[in-house]
């Protein structure tokens, strides 16, 4: 006897918003109504990235940046976090055998200045644009620096990595 009640209760509660619809009545015209609803997930998008060429090491630190990066976030505050990973599994550039560590910073363009990025550690509290094209709102800057001391003893060659910047709406 308990099983029919449980099934009936489950059907009643699973109907959800479908119970708001009303049927029309028989007549020369008939009118019914129903609710239409949708949800929009929190979304983010990073665009306008550019490669960073640090140049040729000649005894001084190498620095470079990618500017005017567009970060869109559709949250009420346009907030996001940014996370940096690389193909070299750390903040390093490599020739395949040897590597040099670099530092990285992120500036969301909201006026707070650059903040250090740690490898695979989200930097929270960033503010982006409410426009997918950043026609309005902040534009970010990603910068890297390889200290001279990290390159002085390395053999000649080409050193690189692929940096991945992942943004998450907050």
- pLDDT confidence of residue 89: 86
Domain residue limits at 129: 44-52+60-169
Question: What CATH number does the domain containing 150 carry?
Answer: 2.60.40
Residue range 84-107: average pLDDT? 98
- Long-range contacts, stretch 149-152, CB < 8 angstroms, 24+ apart: 150/100, 150/101, 150/102, 151/57, 151/62, 151/100, 152/59
**Within-domain flag for 101:** yes
**Within-domain flag for 86:** yes
Distance CA(80)–CA(127), nearest Å, equals 6
What confidence tens digit (pLDDT) does each residue in 103-152 have? Answer: 999 999 999 999 999 999 999 999 999 999 999 878 999 999 999 999 99
Closest CA to 70 of 44, 42, 51: 44
Say if CB 140 and CB 108 are below 8 A apart: yes
- pLDDT confidence of residue 122: 99
**Within-domain flag for 105:** yes
Q: How many CB atoms lie within 10 A of CB 127?
A: 20
**Within-domain flag for 127:** yes
Distance of CA 57 to the CA centre of its chain: 32
Distance CA(130)–CA(82), nearest Å, equals 16
DSSP notation for the chain = -HHHHHHHHHHHHHSGGGGG-B---SSSS---B----------EEEE----------SSS-EEEEEEEEEEEE-STT-EEEEEEEETTSSSEEESSS-EEE-EEEEE-SSSS--EEEBBTB-EEEEE-BSSTT-SSS-EEEEEEEE-GGGTTTSPSS--B--EEEEEEE-
- pLDDT confidence of residue 137: 78
**Within-domain flag for 8:** no
Say if CB 66 and CB 52 are below 8 A apart: yes
Say if CB 93 and CB 145 are below 8 A apart: no
What confidence tens digit (pLDDT) does each residue in 37-83 have? Answer: 999 999 999 999 999 999 999 999 999 999 999 999 999 999 999 99
Predicted TM-score (pTM) of this structure: 0.83
**Within-domain flag for 118:** yes
Total count of domains within the chain: 1
């Amino acid at each position: 006897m308990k099983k029919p009640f449980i099934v009936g209760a489950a059907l009643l509660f699973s109907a959800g918003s479908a119970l708001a619809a009303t049927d029309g009545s028989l007549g020369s015209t008939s009118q019914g109504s129903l609710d239409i609803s949708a949800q929009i997930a929190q979304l983010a998008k990073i665009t306008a990235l550019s490669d960073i060429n640090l140049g040729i090491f000649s005894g001084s630190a190498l620095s470079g940046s990618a500017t005017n990066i567009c970060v869109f976030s559709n949250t009420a505050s346009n907030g996001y976090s940014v996370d940096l990973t690389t193909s070299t599994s750390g903040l390093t550039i490599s020739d395949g055998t040897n590597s040099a560590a670099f530092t990285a910073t992120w500036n969301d363009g909201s006026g707070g200045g650059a903040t250090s990025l740690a490898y695979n550690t989200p930097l929270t509290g960033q503010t982006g644009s409410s426009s997918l094209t950043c026609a309005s709102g902040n534009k970010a800057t990603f910068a890297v620096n390889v200290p001279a001391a990290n390159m002085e003893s390395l053999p000649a060659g080409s050193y690189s990595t692929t940096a991945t910047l992942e943004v998450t709406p907050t």
